[in-house]
Structure 1
Amino acid sequence: MENTEENKGSAAIRPLRFDIPVLGFAAWSGTGKTTLLVKLLPLLRLQGLRIGMIKQTHHDFEIDVPGKDSYELRKAGASQMLLASEKRSALITEYESPAALPLSALVKQLDLANLDLVLVEGFRHLPFDKIELHRPSTGREPVFPHDGSVIAVASDEKIDTSGLPLLNINSAEEIAGFINRWRDYWRAERG
């Protein structure tokens, strides 16, 4: 059975497999995913890791500017627009109809030959390794009891994690260490 949004609730779904370590950060809105990732990225970069990021959003967004050539070319009918300079590039893809692109397809859009790790913010319902961020003060129930792909829980309180590693959500250093151990395990498992 293929892992799609349509069958994500099926018990028969196998975990997503990638050719590179892909680790998600799952949490309810307002828990601090982006705040933590902004602290984690420099720590992981200091260890020499080249990191790709994928961030899911449920809102329409525009990264191009009306009046710029790239914007006008897209609006004139370009399905994809690759904007490139000496310092960076950005691929903007227009979809014919609203559709959620599968995470595996998004990962493949990255230049994997130049990455060591991909971190994902969002896609919490998909079956791939992820760290759940949980703050009991939000009043939300944790996800990990119902999601076998959560490999650790980061929280600001001591909570029962049913045997999963409990990380301090306020210690980016501790979480970076966990990510490195997980990445080593991922690489050893795939030989």
Structure 2
Amino acid sequence: MEPSLLPQDSLPVASGAFARFGVRWTALEIGDRHYQTLWVKMKRLHIIGRKNHGKTTLVVELLQEFAARGLRVGSIKHTHHDHQLDVPGKDSHRHQQAGAAVVGVLSRSMSALFIPTQLGSAAPDRYEVLAPAYQHCDLVLVEGDVETSSPKIEVWRAAQGSEPIASEVQGVMAVVTDDECPTELPTLPRSDVAAVADWILNHFA
């Protein structure tokens, strides 16, 4: 089914959304049904690094820094492990096991969607399935996913004794480290999160 697109000016405009994202309506196939859904391209940056080099700590510190500056920044945790994100035995998990194509959970403080991976096959990549939820974000930080073609920065610590991933994969723009780095990429000071945030905004704002 070919995507059915509407002109950009016929869609509702959220504050600054079209300045930061490409937005359109497109077709989404779930099983044998076809839906029209809002397609939003995330402005995302991947924070990559080997195990124990500090990816999560850097992502958390950057989120805090951006929030303090009044920016709305989303996050995604990417993992290669086959995690069961729902809790077996819970009602929502039973819905999933019974054959629900998508399962949602709404509570007083938070909402969540459980989407089986195969549903993303109708879109160019799995991030596009999640993109509408991030349409009001100025930036999305993704922890992990070295295989993506999207921009990446790597956090690296010489004390861990391993070479930077940047020497093995494409698309790494800079290395965040306080050590002498064995690559020709620009380095950003790990001990100065504000400087790292400034660099990110200069390249993605």
5+ residue gaps, structure 1, are 1-16, 185-191
Which structure has the larger Rg over C-alpha atoms?
2
5+ residue gaps, structure 2, are 1-21, 23-39
- 1:20 Cα offset (Å): 3.5
Q: Does 1:39 align with 2:61?
A: yes
Following TM superposition, where does structure 1 have runs of at least 4 consecutive aligned residues deviating by more than 6 angstroms?
99-103
Matched with 1:156 is 178
How has the CA–CA distance of structure 1 residues 96 and 165 changed in structure 2, closer, same or farther, with 3 Å as cutoff?
Answer: closer
Choose 107-116 or 47-56, whichever is displaced more: 107-116
Q: Does 1:171 align with 2:192?
A: yes
How has the CA–CA distance of structure 1 residues 45 and 174 changed in structure 2, closer, same or farther, with 3 Å as cutoff?
Answer: same
2:87 is aligned with what amino acid?
Answer: V
Which residue, out of 82, 92, 100, partners 2:114? 92
Q: Deviations over 1:89-119 (max 9, x none)?
A: 111123469x999883324413232211111
Q: Does 1:63 align with 2:85?
A: yes
Percent identity of equivalent pairs: 34
How has the CA–CA distance of structure 1 residues 159 and 67 changed in structure 2, closer, same or farther, with 3 Å as cutoff?
Answer: closer
How has the CA–CA distance of structure 1 residues 109 and 147 changed in structure 2, closer, same or farther, with 3 Å as cutoff?
Answer: same
- TM-score where L is the length of structure 2: 0.70
| Count of residue pairs brought into register by the alignment | 166
Which residue, out of 131, 136, 144, partners 2:158? 136
Q: Does 1:29 align with 2:51?
A: yes
Q: CA RMSD in A?
A: 2.8
Whole-angstrom distance in 1 between the partners of 2:89 and 2:168? 48
How has the CA–CA distance of structure 1 residues 160 and 67 changed in structure 2, closer, same or farther, with 3 Å as cutoff?
Answer: closer
Whole-angstrom distance in 2 between the partners of 1:119 and 1:101? 24
